[in-house]
């Protein structure tokens, strides 16, 4: 991918329809603000929270907007079920539940997202700009951010060092 904003990014694709696509970058942790700082800004109690989740730079679109990507053992009316095991929630309900010590078993809070217009992602995939692998909870939710990109490639049995940045078409 020639766009530096996506260099070595692992993106969890949350929606892909004829209207466009939306995903969350899961391997760009944010050091600031902390989860507790963000809860204070949003006036979500308790502070300090009984439990915390990692914040990530979710993508270059709408960085002021937050999304919690999480396991489906907890959902609310506003949750979008992405798969049988993963959901996306953009309401404060999930933050309140986590701050109180409950909520989903696994989750990460993304500020911003990656978005594509109608047909854009399909075209980029046809141009070999993206590779896709099956997601799993470990790849999505664990804290090994520095290794997620290589682990995603390992699912394809590909060494990224062996790839060329020039794509061909047969």
Q: What is the pTM of this model?
A: 0.91
Confirm if 27 and 138 have CB atoms less than 8 A apart: no
pLDDT for res 2:
67
For the chain, domain boundaries: 4-160
pLDDT for res 83:
96
pLDDT for res 70:
98
- Cα 145 from Cα 54, distance rounded (Å): 11
pLDDT for res 170:
52
Confirm if 121 and 21 have CB atoms less than 8 A apart: yes
pLDDT for res 132:
93
Q: Which DSSP letter does residue 111 get?
A: E
Q: What token pair was written down for 1? A: 């991918």
Residues of the chain with pLDDT under 70: 1-2, 162-170
- At the topology level, CATH places domain 4-160 in VC0467-like (3.40.1740)
pLDDT for res 166:
58
H helices of 3-60, in order, are: 35-41
Q: What kind and span of H or E run contains 125?
A: helix 120-126
pLDDT for res 54:
95
* Rounded-to-10 torsion of CA 144, 22, 98, 142: -10
pLDDT for res 99:
97
Q: What kind and span of H or E run contains 163?
A: none
Q: What kind and span of H or E run contains 80?
A: strand 80-81
H helices of 13-157, in order, are: 35-41, 92-99, 120-126, 137-141, 148-155
């Amino acid at each position: 991918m020639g766009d530096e904003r996506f260099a070595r990014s692992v993106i969890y694709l949350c929606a892909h329809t004829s209207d466009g696509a939306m995903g969350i970058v899961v391997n760009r942790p944010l050091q600031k603000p902390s989860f507790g700082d963000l809860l204070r800004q949003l006036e979500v109690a308790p502070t300090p929270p009984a439990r915390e989740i990692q914040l990530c730079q979710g993508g270059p679109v709408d960085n002021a907007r937050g999304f919690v990507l999480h396991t489906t053992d907890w959902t609310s009316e506003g949750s979008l079920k992405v798969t049988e095991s993963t959901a996306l929630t953009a309401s404060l309900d999930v933050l309140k539940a986590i701050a109180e010590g409950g909520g989903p078993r696994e989750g990460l809070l993304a500020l911003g997202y990656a978005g594509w217009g109608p047909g854009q992602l399909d075209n980029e995939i046809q141009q070999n700009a993206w590779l896709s692998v099956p997601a799993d909870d470990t790849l999505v939710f664990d804290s090994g951010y520095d290794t997620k990109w290589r682990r995603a490639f390992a699912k394809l049995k590909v060494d990224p060092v062996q790839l060329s940045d020039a794509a061909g078409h047969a």
